[in-house]
Amino acid sequence: MEESKYDAGKRSRALRSAALRLVVAVYIGYLAYKIAAAEDTSMNITFARIIGSVFMAAAVAFGIYSFVRMRSELAAARISPEGSAETDVESRDGE
């Protein structure tokens, strides 16, 4: 199996963005848990659990979106064999 090469800058940005999105998804999940588990609130427990469930669904959806976005950004950062050959030719022409 051939090892893929990546543009370092694009790969770094993709991974950094994915990490930040993951932090946001985890935080939304944490908020969902805190809302759903709140027993000492004046809000109706059923209503709190419904809101918590909506937040949890949002956290899962954002997590899936983050994963799909990261994969597409990494695919865009991949350097094709033709692209690296063109880069080699350009670097030799510049010498």
pLDDT in tens, 8-58: 888 899 899 999 999 999 999 999 999 998 877 788 888 999 999 999 999
Q: Exposed (0-12), middle (13-18) or buried (19+): which is 35, by Cβ within 10 Å?
A: buried
Angle, CA 24 vertex, CA 18 and CA 30 arms, to 5°: 135
Q: How much is the pLDDT for 89?
A: 44
Residue whose structure tokens are 């063109």:
86
Supply the pTM of this predicted model. Answer: 0.72
5 three-class SS = strand
| CA nearest neighbour of 65 among 14, 13, 18, 9 | 18
